[in-house]
Amino acid sequence: MATSLKNLSSYDPEKVPDAGKMKFGIVVSEWNEEITAAMAEGAIETLKKHGAVEENIHLITVPGSFELIFGSRLLAEKHALDAVIAIGCIIQGETRHFDFICQGVTQGMAELNLEYDIPFIFGVLTTQNQPQAIDRAGGKHGNKGNEAAITAIKMAGLNS
């Protein structure tokens, strides 16, 4: 078992199951929209690259990352999905709001994974500043949206 994997953007496509019959939900936070839109685009592109079809990708937007939890649950209840990808970008500010949102979203998404029989993927950046976020939304550290999509397909594959 490889333990050196640090960046799924350079993954082995051979190890990713075919997503042709899989159904996905994508929830995108509108906060830091230029970042989350790039991540969502990367996620959709990657799902399609592995066979997912447009009509099996259900996308909704929510106001902020804290709402990703409810949005994810909503999609899971509404459609017979194989995986849900939550995409957000939380950037540290001057107050402790950052900590509370990060903690709340992480906890909420973890609980969804325990509550439902499908995987909920944590595609949420938590960075100190905007350049760090840009680096991870198609910049020098890849696109974490692509990585979330790969994770979703792999996890859905485990469940099939």
Q: Which residues are catalytic?
A: 97
- Choosing from 19, 40, 67, 143, the residue that interacts with ligand DLZ (CB under 6 A) is 67
Long-range pairs for 127-133 at CB < 8 Å and ≥24 separation?
127/89, 127/90, 127/91, 127/92, 128/91, 128/92, 129/91, 129/92, 130/32, 130/35, 130/91, 133/32, 133/35, 133/89, 133/91
Interaction of residue 88 with ligand DLZ, rule CB under 6 A? yes
- Choosing from 16, 23, 27, 29, the residue that interacts with ligand DLZ (CB under 6 A) is 29
Q: Specify the residue, 31 or 116, whose C-beta has the smaller distance to ligand DLZ.
A: 31
Interaction of residue 22 with ligand DLZ, rule CB under 6 A? no
Helices (H), the chain: 33-49, 68-78, 97-115, 130-135, 144-159
Interaction of residue 21 with ligand DLZ, rule CB under 6 A? no
- With beta carbons less than 8 A apart as the criterion, state whether 12 and 153 touch: no
Interaction of residue 65 with ligand DLZ, rule CB under 6 A? yes
Interaction of residue 91 with ligand DLZ, rule CB under 6 A? yes
Question: Of 157, 134, 113, 155, whose CA–CA distance to 20 is shortest?
Answer: 157
d(CA 43, CA 8): 12
Interaction of residue 93 with ligand DLZ, rule CB under 6 A? yes
CB of 25 to ligand DLZ, least distance (A): 18
CB of 95 to ligand DLZ, least distance (A): 7
- Choosing from 81, 90, 121, 152, the residue that interacts with ligand DLZ (CB under 6 A) is 90
The residue ranges that bind ligand DLZ (CB under 6 A) are 29, 31-32, 63-67, 88-91, 93, 97, 101
